[in-house]
Structure 1
Amino acid sequence: MLAAAGSGRCLGCVPMSNASVWPATASWTGGALSLGGVAAADLAAEYGTPVYVLDEADFRARARTWQEALPDGDVHYGGKAFLCPEVVRWLDGLGLSLDVCTGGELAVAQAGGMPPERVVFHGNNKSRDELRRAVTWGVGCVVLDSFTELDRLAALAREHGVRQRVMIRVTPGVDALTHRSIATGGEDSKFGFSLAAGHAARAVRRVREEDSLELHGLHSHIGSQILRLDGFAQAAERMCAFARASDVERLDLGGGLGIRYTPDGQPPPTPDELVTVLRKHTAGLRLSVEPGRSIAGPSTVALYRVGTVKGGYVSVDGGMSDNPRPAMYGAPYTAARASGGEGAARRRVHVVGKHCESGDVLVRDVALPEDVAPGDLLAVPASGAYQRSMASNYNHVPRPPVVAVRDGAARVIVRRETEEDLLRLYV
């Protein structure tokens, strides 16, 4: 257990506009970063780098903000953003439900003790074994994504003598105005039943014909990292009209609310602002939402150690294996020196990783102190969503640990992978 660092929030060594991208407990003293009351330098010394540092108080506060925004509805945390058994325990204690989309995420939900009735099971190609596991465990709701899956689930539920609650995922034909790889509401999406083509209405009829299935509601999700409310409003309006025409009283409008990754990035709407827009179009319906990124993303900072500085490149000991998003989507991030030192002039550099790819760039064109040197500690905020969950072992690099900090104490909630872990898979 690490001792508490000096208290007092001092953002003087980082532009005040940067405050928006750091967790709530981040503080700076003499250019040195602390998170949750623990010095970043101490975290790096104790747990090594790279390391994801999760501000537990920040995570919990963001989850509660969603609950407060929707007191008369249901909040399902989007587990694909980041999930581990300890986080499941936090969610359970807070009273949130959980959205999973694979058998692996289902296993984590079970390991963390989430009551099965508060689990919603997504996915566009759930296997028979995955569906059987959901049915036998007693998952609260399965979101149907195809007619094949509808038939498969109906047969399994009948075989096990249960009546499985389901939602029908509807593709509302909405442009979410986000990166095409994370847009899911258009007519050409691989997800769901088309509203315009009449497939969604047919799915409603089919479910009602199946004695082993119970129609629990309708579902739609238009994409991720969405910073404008227009698409949400359009989806809510279309889905509400369809729900009323289908005599359905429950509507799950998914997640997708974006976050700010850089100080000059567009400020995202708040949960209150989003729910206000959704409620404008869904009065009288039981509403559910599925925030993931907006809870996990800002709560975590990734710490790296500088290895080399060469021209305009600052190389660190991680890279695209622990954060594939810049290489995959061109996702922007910022970085700051976390190991102390104030007053140095700054210059624009690229923070790059250690992998054998020219595209292995973590942060493009960021201003760092011109005296940044090997051994310095760099911090990349907004690293909690879709980083550890999408991390790989490219170049046989073990994945970093996740360390939770709170009230001056730190503990590992996901341990660092080792080379022994990797070698254990080979036969």
Structure 2
Amino acid sequence: MRSHEAGALHGDFGHGPSWLRPPTDVNDLLPQLWASTVERDAGGVVNVGGISVVDLAAEFGTPIYVVDETDFRERLAAFKSAFFDRFGQGSVYYAGKAFLCKAVARWVDESGVNLDVCTGGELAVALAVGMPGERLAFHGNNKSEVELAAALDAGVGRIVLDSFDEIGRLTVLARQHGVRPKVLIRTKVGVEAHTHEYIATAHEDQKFGLSLAEASMAADQIIAEGVLDLAGLHSHIGSQIFDTTAFEVAAKRVLGLHHRIAATNSVTLPELGLGGGFGMAYTTQDDPQSPERLADGLAKIVEHECAAYGIDVPHISVEPGRAICGPTTFTLYTAGTIKPVELDAGQLRCYVSVDGGMSDNMRTALYNASYSATLASRVSDAAPVLARIVGKHCESGDIVVRDEFLPGDVAPGDLLAVPGTGAYCRSMASNYNHVPRPAVIAVADGAARVIVRGETVDDLLRLDVG
């Protein structure tokens, strides 16, 4: 095996994916992968919101999630502007499942964007900061009676119904509460979104929603009983989607059902939820669309299909989550063990172990998700080497970044930053191997503050009652 020579790794670092090539300058920060205020200073140290990652690590430790608050607010404003211009007030719901805490709920509220929750816990966070119930939508495939009652008590504006059982539960509760909540019926339109199996949600063989035939029967039932106020239909085809063709097929099918329900029952269904799932850039291979292009594209699709059916265009709503919060955040790690591994024919891969891993980013192991990374605490003129950034957990699948070029002199103590971790990483974080979950630090205008406190070993032991 080849070894460290003069502080750097050498050798032919092949075996990466075919699209991955050594960068011209391994210190480059590609703008499409980073939040708007992220840059390198004159010494090569990554800064965000006017604060260096070296200072952030010294004050808060690592690993930490670092949120560019300015960028987060800008993305909320961009989606609000683009979709409000095309579809009107209330057309954007931030999908809280991507990442939600009280600070984020306040940012969403202050932006005028609505909020989509899918559990009683997410509902509680929204209500804790005083977000009005009418600006909330409640999703989920198995909402309990307690959660549905809480939604009714809070005056949640839209409850998205996922099954006949849920229709029955909510009907009973609505009678008991003496209210008539607005509801949407979630439909699975049989569209295979071009994404990972676990985040494609509109094909038939999965847990979400009702088939078109079932949704038609559910609508007839709700209208006949008159207890719930059927506002329209909802369709969500999956996540991390760049191909708008799937939205065209979904819109055609769900608007056909919309037309049949309205005509058969002589009612007006004023709304149509098209879900979210808009993609973001994790690597240079991802090419997300701007909010303006998304809004314009969806508007043309809906207008075309409504004209074909001879019906009025309903009020359209969408639920972007990762496209808003994902690019705003990077995870900051400290490198520990550096291990060059010989593969074959003299080719090497550099394994760089960091002080986090699958407990703070499950997506690589769960979805085979791709991420990028950069040496963040200094500049380097060493030749690039193909690296794999791995965690500290006792699993061979504990991989944070599967393939990335790093400087060949990467060493223990270096800070590494992994961009695009604002969506689902903290939401899906765990205490695997009894590792405390990291803090979330918001940075803006030269100031940094904790918005979610990092856990300690004392926190872990406090819940362990023995």
Asked if these proteins are the same fold (TM beyond 0.5), I'd say: yes
Partner Cα separation in structure 1 for residue 169 and residue 124 of structure 2? 21
The DSSP-based 3-state class of the residue aligned with 2:437 is: coil
Match of 2:109 in 1: 92
Partner Cα separation in structure 1 for residue 103 and residue 179 of structure 2? 30
Letter in 2 for 1:26: V
Could you tell me whether the CA contact under 8 Å between 1:116 and 1:140 is conserved in 2? Answer: yes
* 1:336 counterpart (349, 353, 374): 374
Post-superposition shift, 1:257? 0.5
* 2:72 counterpart (59, 77, 86): 59
Could you tell me whether the CA contact under 8 Å between 1:398 and 1:419 is conserved in 2? Answer: yes
Structure 1 portions without partners, runs of 5+: 1-10
238-247 vs 355-364, greater mean Cα deviation:
238-247
Pair 1:208-2:209 in alignment: no
Pair 1:305-2:334 in alignment: yes
Match of 2:443 in 1: 405
Partner Cα separation in structure 2 for residue 366 and residue 349 of structure 1? 5
Partner Cα separation in structure 2 for residue 325 and residue 33 of structure 1? 24
Partner Cα separation in structure 1 for residue 27 and residue 117 of structure 2? 37
The DSSP-based 3-state class of the residue aligned with 1:254 is: strand
Match of 1:36 in 2: 49
Partner Cα separation in structure 2 for residue 229 and residue 15 of structure 1? 31
Partner Cα separation in structure 2 for residue 366 and residue 235 of structure 1? 36
Could you tell me whether the CA contact under 8 Å between 1:141 and 1:164 is conserved in 2? Answer: yes
Letter in 1 for 2:40: W
Structure showing greater radius of gyration is 2
* 1:286 counterpart (315, 327, 342): 315
Match of 1:108 in 2: 125
Partner Cα separation in structure 1 for residue 79 and residue 25 of structure 2? 31
99-108 vs 65-74, greater mean Cα deviation:
65-74
Post-superposition shift, 1:13? 6.1
Post-superposition shift, 1:12? 7.2
Partner Cα separation in structure 1 for residue 218 and residue 290 of structure 2? 34
Post-superposition shift, 1:249? 2.2
* 1:170 counterpart (175, 187, 195): 187
Match of 1:249 in 2: 270
Match of 1:364 in 2: 402
Match of 2:279 in 1: 258
325-334 vs 206-215, greater mean Cα deviation:
206-215
Partner Cα separation in structure 1 for residue 57 and residue 28 of structure 2? 24
Letter in 2 for 1:67: K
Could you tell me whether the CA contact under 8 Å between 1:23 and 1:55 is conserved in 2? Answer: yes
Could you tell me whether the CA contact under 8 Å between 2:26 and 2:384 is conserved in 1? Answer: no
The DSSP-based 3-state class of the residue aligned with 1:424 is: helix
Match of 1:415 in 2: 453
Post-superposition shift, 1:43? 0.6
C-alpha distance after superposition, 1:185-210 (max 9, x if no partner): 11112111101xx1011011111123
* 1:143 counterpart (157, 160, 163): 160
1:367-378 pair list within 5 angstroms: 367-378=405-416
Post-superposition shift, 1:112? 2.2
Match of 1:321 in 2: 359
Letter in 1 for 2:335: V
The DSSP-based 3-state class of the residue aligned with 2:276 is: coil
How many positions carry a matched residue from both structures?
Answer: 413
Letter in 1 for 2:134: E
Match of 2:239 in 1: 224
The list of structure 1 runs, each at least 4 consecutive aligned residues, that deviate by more than 4 angstroms after superposition, is none
1:177-216 pair list within 5 angstroms: 177-195=194-212, 198-216=213-231
Letter in 2 for 1:410: A
* 1:272 counterpart (272, 288, 292): 292
The DSSP-based 3-state class of the residue aligned with 1:392 is: coil
382-391 vs 247-256, greater mean Cα deviation:
247-256
Partner Cα separation in structure 2 for residue 266 and residue 34 of structure 1? 24
Letter in 2 for 1:178: T
In percent, how many aligned pairs have the same letter? Answer: 56
Letter in 2 for 1:304: Y
Q: What TM-score results when the alignment is normalised by the length of structure 2?
A: 0.87
Could you tell me whether the CA contact under 8 Å between 1:171 and 1:189 is conserved in 2? Answer: no
Letter in 1 for 2:276: G
Match of 1:47 in 2: 60
1:119-130 pair list within 5 angstroms: 119-130=136-147
